[in-house]
Amino acid sequence: MFKTKTVFPRIIENIDWLFWVSLIFLVSIGCLAIYSASLNYDNPMKFIITQFAALTIGMVGIIFLASFNYQYYKHFNSLIYAFSCFLLISVLVFGTTVRATKGWFNFGFFSFQPVEITKIMLILVLSAFLDNHWKEIQKLSVLCKALCITGGHLFLIMLQPDFSSTLSYFPVTLILLYITGAKLRHLLSIILYGSLAMGIPLLVTFFKLQPELLQSSKVISFFVNATTDFKSAVLILGSISLIVFLIRWFLIKLRIHVAIIYPIIFLSIITAGCFSSVVVDKSLKEYQRKRLIVFLKPQIDSRGAGYNIIQSKIAIGSGRIIGKGFFKGTQTQLGFLPEQRTDFIFSVIGEEGGYLFSQLTILFYFFFVWRALLIAQHARDRYGSLVATGIATMFAFYGIINIGMVMGLMPVTGLPLLLLSYGGSSMLSSMIAVGILMSIHLRRFNEY
Amino acid sequence: MSWNNDDKSTYNLFIDKYKNIVFLFFILFLFLSLQLFYLQVIRGAFYRNVSEHQRLNTTHERASRGIIYDSTGKIIVGNESNYVALFYPFEQQYLPSEDTIEQLNKILKRDIKPSIDKGWRYGRVVKIADNLTLDEVFRIQEKKLFLPGITVVKEPKRTYFNSIENAPITGYVGEVRADELETLETDGYKAGDFIGRGGIEQSYDKYLRGIDGGLDLEVNAKGQHQKAFSYRAPQIGNSVYLTIDDDLQKVAYDALTKTTTGKGAAVVIDVRNGAVKALVSCPSYDTNKVFTGEYRKYLKDKKLPLFNRAIQALYPPGSTFKIITFIAAMEHLHLNPNHTEECKGKFELGDRVFACSSKAGHGRINLIRAMTVSCNIYFYQLGLDLGVRVLEEYAKLFHLGEPTGIDIPSEKKGFVPTPEWKKAKMKMIWLKGDTVIFAIGQGALWVTPLQMATTMAAVANRGIYYKPYLVEKVVDAENNNTLYTHSPETKEAINVSSNTWEQLNKALTNVVEEGTAVRTKLKDIKIAAKTGTAQNPHGEDHAWVVAYAPADNPEIALAVIVENGGSGGVISVPVAREIFKKYFNINEPGTDFTIPAEAAQETVEPQPADQVTDEGIDNVQD
């Protein structure tokens, strides 16, 4: 019965209205805010025109990708991965440097950031791999292989170095592994390792910014020293091992048997985490550390790195319930709010549209993620579900990290708010993601 | 329904985990919404306020304080222009750069090191240099390009004329201190504002303060001005007209400086309404120099120039108190003024001996004569006859021991001793000896020069007691509306018979004609006076004179004290004479400030040893 129908009536019939309403709302309010944030420039139309151009190309992309069967991606899996790595390597060779990050291809009239595309490619590749190996996912070797796929990208991106772009890779990989059925303790080990590797350098930076705290507490200064002093590091690790084995001894006394392998694995993760932290510590730039730290205490550096967070909170808060009116926000129009069109676009909405519009934005953003997840639920195969989950997770975490950041809940990372922030590359990649989602959605029935 | 190649169970496993993810996302987005609600709805008003503060840069134009005139219409406090260099902070820069400071120091040849005080808030202007000369102003304007953010503005500066003589009356102005700001903020004071300190500047501050003008500017993040809102012109404060006569002030002050110690006070009051015509304290300080290095000198000076002796110093009234004893005796004992006593130069009470001013004794004298020569023996006897209660009652009738209520701050109220006080304070019972010396104004009786002047004014007025005041009226700067006019205020009158006043007037006139105050005498005008030589446990005697004139139809009353000056009739009387001469415009030479080898000698009025209190002039409780 369906076969008799052509593509268009089929789209109209099965369209998910809430998904599209959310998408259109988000893009429109984004454009409105971008326009408002450009008013104090000579040519306010410049940015909005660029955004529209990216949107138009994106729309064509959606139609093209929606009509293309996503299941073919699985067959070109290695090719896609190779191509994505090629992109990331060539940007390291041919790319231009913007703000100390070599992550852009400059084509004269427009520039393009390959990481925006590779993050979607990775979702496709990882989903394909997990679809093929879902039965063995509980094996450590398969898990490691999956991590290596992500790790390859992360390694190349960190060479640029583009710390913030790697942030979305972590939740996407973890969620995909989790939903495929990876063991919880494996995932927890990864999280433990990751937080040690990332957390230690950050904590050290945090304490170093507060010298009076270092002087007052000998314990803290000892731990901070341990990051550079090998002997004290060994001492700390040794004492942790001792404690862990003591706990095991107690548990055995209580007739709870714990295989010797677990504490050993636990300790080796800690050790590996600690030693990786040294590598991370060396690769982190000073400004990146400061940005990550100031969200905990913006006052530490209120005129430097903390300025952005403080001004953004003032902008959002001063909007109150109904806002100051579009194009009338003083924080935005007088330039107090930094990075208005890109990272802090939500603050513009918060100031000018008030609680009304910003809550609506969060709501529609959630609807958008939710409907994307519904696509995952109704996909015709596991591959489709995994890809849709990955894309939904990507959108969700960009939103959470960005909105959390502008409200002072998360560190200033430099992640845009997908679908709203100004930026051709990110808009295009969002549209590509939407196109793939549509492809999965349209092919959800087994009949086709 | 889904996943055609897989069995149902694996799909269900997937769905279980899928639900957890949806739940996780829901929680995370809910969390974002809660933070949004907190920022915009709960803390919204706070953040709106912060954003307004950083957007609006209010430039204040300081209003001049009101002008203070004397009774003749002469300006005694006015304003001059002062040029100051200010720095307007802009984006992430709240002090001028090192380069700018270096340039500025080169231009001004000063060593400026600007710093930010604790109360600094974003957008507040920082004062870089004060008291610029016109030449320096032009040099800054020339180099303006090299001095980003630096602006020169004109500010009014308070200027005092005859500043030393008038200091006890005018007080001065100073910047509001940070610790006062909390309480004063509700009255519209802000950091950097001036507020009156002491004198008229303090008590009439609300009239004298102008209304600051200014301009609200909208600034962007770079500190550039975007647009200006309404300009408000500053409004000068109201003019205050004083009762004092600037020339009389100068005469009184100069006369005091010519005395032996140069320390003392003089108060002149118009008896008909309580208007203070002159109020000086000597030595004094220059109100124009309070914020210079001079102030440190004033603080260290042993002569206490910052101390307003006219209203804050407490002295025993000495023989001037005999006026009150005189009235008490006439009223309470119905004493005949012709009643005589024998003065042999000493007075024996129990085992103690009290001496008179004349060692040889005055012989047999009546009340009028006793007053004229200031005989202690006669008044000791009166004291004994009256008793402490009556003396206390009459002292309080003249409102001693309570503040006069003059309209400048920090007035002392003095002290009238009682047997109860002595018992509580010194753990001793009141003795007859205490009563005896009370009658001649010694012991624990403490008064201010102002109180003695008002007492004399009440005597001149035959009992009508006017509250002394300094401000006649307050008029707005355009001289259109009178905001305040003083109407004479009386306190409870001293109700005694007219015969008593007659006799007292006669006695006091005699004091000038042939008694202890003979050196006051002026040809054209009849003066009534009483001198006093107050014993002081800490050093030389204080020299008093209280007087009013003309004796038949009094216009002014005065009190003069020369601290540690010695004999009242010798040291204080010339000061009083100079004041009368100036006030009545009498051009008569012969005011003698020198101390005669042996003149109308009023010797020490002795005190029994146990009456010597440790209380000095400035540590009496009130």
Q: Which residues of B touch A (CB under 8 A)?
A: 1-6, 13-15, 17-18, 21-22, 25-26, 28-29, 31-33, 35-37, 39-41, 43-48, 50-52, 54-55, 92, 218-222, 226
Contacts of B44 in chain A (CB under 8 A): 317-321, 355
How far is the alpha carbon of B2 from chain A, nearest alpha carbon, in Å?
A: 5
Residue A434 has what pLDDT?
A: 96
- As a whole number of angstroms, the distance between CA A322 and CA B276 comes to 63
Distance from C-alpha of B440 to C-alpha of B449, rounded to nearest angstrom:
17
CATH number of B246-611: 3.40.710.10
Cα→Cα distances A82→A79, A90, A119, B404, Å? 5, 12, 13, 100
Contacts of A446 in chain B (CB under 8 A): 4
- Domain layout of chain A by residue ranges: 14-442
Residue B546 CA to residue B542 CA, distance in Å, equals: 13
Q: B32: closest CA among A111, A173, A396? A: A396
Q: Tell me which chain A residues have a C-beta less than 8 angstroms from the C-beta of B50.
A: 314, 317-318
CATH of domain B57-242: 3.90.1310.10
Distances (CA, A) of A183 to A439, B11, B295: 31, 17, 81
Mean pLDDT across B249-268 = 93
Q: Which of A181, A358, A396 sits opposite B36 (nearest CB)?
A: A358
**Among B26, B31, B92, beta carbon nearest to A307:** B92
Q: Average of pLDDT values for A119-142?
A: 92
pLDDT band for position A313 (cuts 50, 70, 90):
very high
CB A404 within 8 A of CB A167: no
Positive or negative CA dihedral for B95, B101, B104, B108?
positive
At B618 the pLDDT is 37
User: What chain A residue is nearest to B227 in terms of C-alpha separation?
Assistant: A334
Chains A and B form CB pairs within 8 A to the count of 148
Query: CA-CA distance, B418 to A431, in Å (whole number)?
Result: 99
Residue B473 · residue B562 · CB < 8 Å = no
**What digits encode the pLDDT tens for the residues B348-401?**
888 888 888 778 888 899 999 999 999 999 999 999 999 999 999 999 999 999
Q: What is the pLDDT of residues B133-180, one digit of tens each?
A: 888 888 887 877 777 777 787 888 899 999 999 999 999 998 888 788
Residues of B in contact with A390 (CB under 8 A): none
pLDDT tens digits for range B200-240 = 999 999 999 988 887 777 877 776 677 777 788 888 999 99
Cα–Cα distance between B123 and B25 in angstroms, integer? Answer: 42
**pLDDT at residue A292, rounded to an integer:** 63
Q: Where are the alpha helices (DSSP H) in B281-366?
A: 294-300, 309-312, 322-332
* CB pair distance less than 8 Å for A335 and B221: yes
In sequence order, what are the residues at sequence separation of 6 or more whose Cβ sits closer than 8 angstroms to the Cβ of residue A125?
Answer: A77, A80, A81, A84, A149
Q: Which residues of B touch A376 (CB under 8 A)?
A: 18
Give the pLDDT band of residue B601 (cuts 50, 70, 90): very low
- CB B18 to CB A376 under 8 A? yes
Check CB contact under 8 Å for B3 and A403. no
Determine, for residues A362 and B32 on separate chains, whether the beta-carbon distance falls below 8 Å.
Answer: yes
CA gyration radius, chain B: 35
Report how far residue A103's alpha carbon sits from residue B561's, in angstroms, rounded to the nearest whole number: 91
User: Which ipTM did the prediction report?
Assistant: 0.91
Phi (first) and psi of residue B263, to 5 degrees: -115, 135
Contact flag A336-B220 (C-beta cutoff 8 Å): yes
- B259-271: pLDDT as tens digits: 888 899 999 999 9
Closest Cα in chain B, distance from residue A237 (Å): 34
Residue A295 has pLDDT above 60, yes or no: no
Q: Give pLDDT tens digits for B556-569.
A: 999 999 999 888 77
CB A154 within 8 A of CB A166: yes
Rounded-to-integer distance, Cα B364 and Cα B381, Å:
13
Q: What angle do CA A383, A388, A393 make, to 5 degrees?
A: 125
Per-residue CA distances from B136 to A169, A300, B130, B265 (Å): 64, 40, 11, 43
- Give the percent of chain B with pLDDT over 90: 49
Maximal CA-CA distance, chain A:
79
CB contact under 8 A, A355 and B5: no
CA distance A53 to chain B (A): 30
Pairing type for strands B471-475 and B56-61 reads unpaired
Contact A319 B44 (CB under 8 A): yes
Q: Which residues, 6+ apart, have CB-to-CB distance to B297 below 8 Å?
A: none
Taking an 8 Å cut-off on Cβ atoms, the answer to whether A396 and B25 are in contact is yes
Q: Give the C-alpha separation, A425 to A312, whole Å.
A: 24
With CB atoms and an 8 Å threshold, state whether A336 touches B221: yes
pLDDT at B116: 62
Burial group, residue A206, by CB count within 10 angstroms (0-12, 13-18, 19+) = buried
Letter for the amino acid at B274? Answer: G
B43 vs A contacts (CB less than 8 Å): 317
Distance (Å, whole) CA B573 – CA B559:
10
CA dihedral B248, B252, B254, B256 (to 10 degrees): 180
Q: Give the pLDDT confidence score for residue A299 in this predicted structure.
A: 60
What pairs with residue B548 in β-bridges? B528, B557
CB contact under 8 A, A400 and B51: no
**Confidence category of residue B617, pLDDT binned at 50, 70, 90:** very low
Q: How far apart are CA B323 and CA A141, in angstroms?
A: 117
Smallest Cβ–Cβ distance between A355 and the set B41, B45, B50 belongs to B41
Structure tokens at B265: 């006070």
Nearest CA in chain B to A403: B32
Write down the mean pLDDT value for chain A: 86
Per-residue pLDDT tens for B290-346? 877 788 888 888 888 999 999 999 999 999 999 999 999 999 999 998 999 888 888
Task: Say whether A365 and B29 touch across the interface (CB within 8 A).
Answer: yes
